[in-house]
Amino acid sequence: MISRRSALAFLALAPATAWSQPAPGVHRIGTLSGGFSPKAKESRLFPTFFEGMRKLGYEDGRNVFYEMRYAEGTPARFPQLARELIATGVHLIVCTGATEAVVLSQATSTIPIVAIHVNDPVELGLAASLARPGRNVTGSTLAIPGFGVKALESLIEAIPNARRIGVLANPTQVNYADQRKELEGVAANKGVTLLPTSGATRPEELDPALEQIAKAKPQAVMVLAHALFNLYRQRVIAFMAQAKLPAMYGWTEDTESGGLMAFAVETRSLYARAPVFVDKILKGAKPGNIPIEQPTRFGLSLNLKTARALGVKFPAAILARADRVIE
């Protein structure tokens, strides 16, 4: 549960006029997220975006106004929220994932969209290419070849006695079939059995998927990066702790929240970078001409407190290779 102090801290960072009306001539920027409103739950990442905007000279109430919409953990709300944003006359929309970006691109082909950490914008039809998107969507992507392979190899190295590894994933995610095939290849080479995927596509499917993992009795678990698991990370991490299952996660923030280990993109860097895209567009650049960027900050993070609780002793090689170690 988020403390009252944490909630107040977030509200202090969020735009002061987020629920008021803009002055004439002010840039109206929409935001669409699958997460929870700052009135309901703390967000660790959007304050990074707002701070980046301020550093570029965009001050809320003076030359920028934010129309913020949150799906509150219910992706089915995205179409309605997208229509609401468009109806307000926003000049640009910032969104936080692939589903949001797809819904927005279907709702408007003219309003610029800056998408933060979309899995594969080309495969999703959001862009013709990363170098020259060609449509109204630009931003950043999480599509890095071989990323999941490195994560599984690190998990096997960290938990050398694990011969059965469970997988929590959203099987409908773009390129999941290819990713699963890559992971199976790594597992076969390492003499490890990769258990059938425990799939969750909606919040109500998450608990059954976790129970399915527990019943399969794995010795370690791969939690593949997806917005659903990012949104409900505390539920996933708490389950793994209770089941005494060492897990590799897909977001750096997972280890900050008590997850054992993650091979992941530094998500805050993507939120910090998003204002640069916004600034270019507000100054006249077309989103279709702005290259979609791949992350440059990623790596392995470990949580030693969680390791002690699970009885895991990381090999020296893993500790030496870690980009971040949380004591």
- Residue 24 has a pLDDT of 53
- Residue 20 has a pLDDT of 42
Q: Residue 207 is part of a domain; what is its CATH number?
A: 3.40.50.2300
Digitized pLDDT (tens) for each residue of the chain, 327 residues in all: 334 343 334 334 444 433 344 455 699 999 998 887 665 334 567 788 999 999 999 998 889 999 999 988 788 899 999 999 999 999 999 998 888 999 999 999 999 999 998 888 998 899 999 999 999 999 998 877 777 889 999 999 999 999 999 999 999 887 788 889 999 999 999 999 999 999 998 889 999 999 999 999 999 999 998 888 888 899 999 999 999 999 999 888 899 999 999 998 888 888 999 999 999 999 999 999 999 998 877 789 999 999 999 999 999 999 999 999 998
Q: How many domains does the chain have?
A: 2
- Residue 43 has a pLDDT of 54
Question: Per the structure block, which two tokens stand in for 123?
Answer: 């495969």
Q: Cα(239)–Cα(235) distance, rounded to whole angstroms?
A: 6
Instruction: Say if residue 135 is in the same domain as residue 158.
Output: no
- Residue 79 has a pLDDT of 95
Instruction: Say if residue 175 is in the same domain as residue 238.
Output: yes
Instruction: Say if residue 309 is in the same domain as residue 184.
Output: yes
Residue range(s) defining the domain that contains residue 29: 4-143+266-289
Q: Which residues pair with 242 in a beta bridge?
A: none
Query: CA 216, 227, 93 angle in degrees (round to 5)?
Result: 170
- Residue 231 has a pLDDT of 83
- Residue 218 has a pLDDT of 97
Tell me the one-letter amino acid at 150: K
Instruction: Say if residue 181 is in the same domain as residue 308.
Output: yes
Instruction: Say if residue 48 is in the same domain as residue 151.
Output: no
Instruction: Say if residue 205 is in the same domain as residue 253.
Output: yes
Q: Cα(287)–Cα(113) distance, rounded to whole angstroms?
A: 7
Q: Cα(257)–Cα(303) distance, rounded to whole angstroms?
A: 9
- Residue 13 has a pLDDT of 43
Q: Which residue has the tokens 């977001």?
A: 251
- What SS3 string covers the chain? CCCHHHHHHHHHHCCCCCCCCCCCCCEEEEEEECCCCCCCCCCCCHHHHHHHHHHCCCCECCCEEEEEEECCCCHHHHHHHHHHHHHCCCCEEEECCHHHHHHHHHHCCCCCEEEEEECCCCCCCCCCCCCCCCCCEEEEECCCCCHHHHHHHHHHHHCCCCCEEEEEECCCCCCHHHHHHHHHHHHHHHCCEEEEEEECCCHHHHHHHHHHHHHHCCCEEEECCCHHHHHCHHHHHHHHHHCCCCEEECCHHHHHCCCCEEEEECHHHHHHHHHHHHHHHHCCCCHHHCCCECCCCEEEEEEHHHHHHHCCCCCHHHHHHCCEEEC
Instruction: Say if residue 139 is in the same domain as residue 27.
Output: yes
- Residue 12 has a pLDDT of 40
- Say whether pTM exceeds 0.85: no
Please give the span between the terminal C-alpha atoms of the chain, in angstroms, as a whole number. Answer: 22
Question: What sign for the dihedral angle of Cα 216, 222, 226, 229?
Answer: positive
Instruction: Say if residue 25 is in the same domain as residue 167.
Output: no
Instruction: Say if residue 162 is in the same domain as residue 101.
Output: no
Instruction: Say if residue 135 is in the same domain as residue 154.
Output: no
Instruction: Say if residue 218 is in the same domain as residue 277.
Output: no
- Residue 40 has a pLDDT of 38
Q: Which residue has the tokens 């949001």?
A: 100
Provide the residue count of the chain: 327
Instruction: Say if residue 199 is in the same domain as residue 310.
Output: yes
Q: Give 321's contacts (C-beta < 8 A, 6+ positions apart).
A: 154, 300
